[in-house]
Amino acid sequence: MLFGSIVRFWSNGWIAELYEKPHYFFPFYGFEFVKPLGEYTCLLFMICGVSALLVAIGLFYRVAIVSLFLSFSYIELIDKSTYLNHYYFVSMICLLLMFLPAHAYFSVDAYRSRALLADQIPAWCIDALKLFVALLYVFAGLAKLNSDWILHAQPLRIWLPAHNDLPLIGFLFNYPWIPYVFSVFGCIYDLSIPFLLWNHATRPFAYVAVVVFHGLTALLFPIGMFPYVMMVTALIFFSPSVHQRIINQLGKWLSASSQFLRPRRTYRYSPGVKTAILTLFGLFFIVQLLFPFRYLLYPGELFWTEQGYRFSWRVMLMEKAGYAQFMIKDRFGHQTIVNNSRFLTPLQEKMMATQPDMLLQYAHILRDYYAKNGFHNPEVYVDSYVALNGRLGKPLIDPTINLANEQDSFKPKAWITPFHDTIYGF
């Protein structure tokens, strides 16, 4: 078994995604030590890019994959407003790859050290990756089993008519039943695709479905690289012979020896290492299985409070827009309304306005700023207004609460106003 080619494909996809340099950042809870590196941020991206390249060609693989995992995750952790599920996915795949011998075959490392060269690796190495991808799809599908998605076709009902000017299919989006078809199809797709890909007989059809589905999402929604990442990732489900053919072709171009292409050796872990890795992977999957369900521990509607929303493969589920106007006061009668653009980039402002934990972080940024600029123990209040999946806007945060005194934690946030509606399902 082998998957050098897969690594090669997807790792090239996201080498360069540059960050703007905003004034303030929103680190993740528990990862506040992750700070942007100022002018060295660029260097971090270079490390990330070089590591990705090294991983792809399989040179200094172990070092490169560790540094890729660390640098990519670090970049991801700098600012919440850029959080995307597929960045998290890439991070987690890198984490798994750190323990796998992806460099054993068709890599520079294996070329330099023939002792490493092997065209067979234990099946569980590949299966772990497949399982992880399957987990992602199933969770994404489960998340769609809710009343907004299935019964009200939200948010597709809002998003699809926006494309009613496309050639050929545009007019379809004017029909109210179309979003329902899309919703149901999307849900069935997510829930079934991993199994269809896993099964040899259905695999070619399933892969066509992958390309069509993700191609469509790329066409209709501004979700960047995700469709392409998934299209390439799904290749891992294909049989060794398919990958062998690709590699043979590549090998021919590179005029590699048949000894290199067909070493007929198996990569072996020593029993102790194997046990350790399998135990770690076991733990990893238990955590991955449970983590998306942590929202059950919180009161209130998940889509509204977003407590337990991230890192759970919930993609494209919400049309959520908001508006947040902050007021700073102190007991000496100072009072001012905050101009958000002085502190945040448009993207940060947009994300902050609908996500309670970011609203709180921002409130603390404001508290600290105004404490240094003429206010005595500033109090921070927010006039927030958020619309979710076609519902009219409502205040998201209790406007009478002084956010300067509230602390972020994993505990439920009592200052989020109740949703006063029910979304049934997962």
Partner 1 sequence: MPLCHFLELMRQIRWKQIGFAGILFGMLWACSGGGTDTPSPTNPTNQADSDRKAMLTNIADNIIVPAYANFKTKLDAMTAKSDAFSAKPDKASLADFRQAWVDAYTEWQKVELFDVGPAEQYTLRNFFNIYPANTTGIEEYITAGSGSFDVPLSYPKQGFPALDYLINGLGSTDDAIVARYTTAADAAKRIAYLKRLTTQMNSVFTTVYTQWTTGGYRDTFINCTALNAGCSTGKLVNGYVLNYERYIRSGKIGIPSGAMTNGTVSPDKVEAYYKKDLSLALAKTAHQASVDFFNGKSVKTGQEGPGLKSYLTSLGAKDSQTGKSLVEIINAQFDLVSQKLGLLKADLSDDVKTNNTAVTQVYTEMQKAVRMLKVDMTSAMSITITYTDNDGD
Residues that bind partner 1 (CB under 8 A): 12-13, 15-18, 152, 158-159, 161-169, 171-172, 174-178, 180-181, 184-185, 212, 215-216, 218-219, 222, 225, 228, 319-323, 325, 334-341, 346, 349-350, 385-387, 390-393, 421
Closest approach of partner 1 to the CB of residue 421, in Å: 7
389: left (phi over 0), alpha (psi -120 to 50) or beta: left
- For partner 1, the closer of residues 227 and 292 by Cβ is 227
- For partner 1, the closer of residues 1 and 366 by Cβ is 366
Closest approach of partner 1 to the CB of residue 9, in Å: 12
335, containing H or E segment: strand 335-337
Do 363 and 403 meet the contact criterion of CB atoms below 8 Å apart?
A: yes
- For partner 1, the closer of residues 13 and 300 by Cβ is 13
| Nearest residue to 234 (alpha-carbon basis) of 4, 2, 6, 11 | 6
- For partner 1, the closer of residues 105 and 303 by Cβ is 303
- For partner 1, the closer of residues 183 and 288 by Cβ is 183
> How many CB atoms within 10 Å of residue 111?
17
| Nearest residue to 348 (alpha-carbon basis) of 20, 5, 2, 92 | 20
Rounded CA-CA distance 382/349 in Å is 13
Q: What is the DSSP secondary-structure string of 236-273?
A: GGS-HHHHHHHHHHHHHHTT--HHHH----B----HHH
Q: Is residue 280 exposed (0-12), middle (13-18) or buried (19+ Cβ within 10 Å)?
A: middle
Closest approach of partner 1 to the CB of residue 158, in Å: 5
- For partner 1, the closer of residues 299 and 390 by Cβ is 390
Rounded CA-CA distance 148/382 in Å is 28
Q: Which amino acid makes up residue 371?
A: A
Residue 150 CA, distance from chain mean position: 23
- Give bridge partners of residue 68 from the DSSP assignment: none
Rounded CA-CA distance 19/21 in Å is 6
Closest approach of partner 1 to the CB of residue 338, in Å: 6
SS3 content of the chain, % helix, strand, coil (to 5): 55, 5, 35
Rounded CA-CA distance 52/332 in Å is 55
- For partner 1, the closer of residues 228 and 291 by Cβ is 228
Question: Cis ω on the peptide bond leading into residue 227 (within 30° of 0)?
Answer: no
Closest approach of partner 1 to the CB of residue 324, in Å: 9
Helices 4-13, 41-57: inter-axial angle, 10-degree rounding: 160
Closest approach of partner 1 to the CB of residue 342, in Å: 8
Rounded CA-CA distance 362/80 in Å is 12
Closest approach of partner 1 to the CB of residue 13, in Å: 7
- For partner 1, the closer of residues 111 and 228 by Cβ is 228
- For partner 1, the closer of residues 63 and 162 by Cβ is 162
Closest approach of partner 1 to the CB of residue 188, in Å: 10
**Backbone angles phi and psi of 390, in degrees to 5:** 85, -5
- For partner 1, the closer of residues 29 and 175 by Cβ is 175
Closest approach of partner 1 to the CB of residue 218, in Å: 7
Closest approach of partner 1 to the CB of residue 365, in Å: 15
Closest approach of partner 1 to the CB of residue 214, in Å: 11
Do 51 and 31 meet the contact criterion of CB atoms below 8 Å apart?
A: no
- For partner 1, the closer of residues 276 and 337 by Cβ is 337
Do 317 and 423 meet the contact criterion of CB atoms below 8 Å apart?
A: no
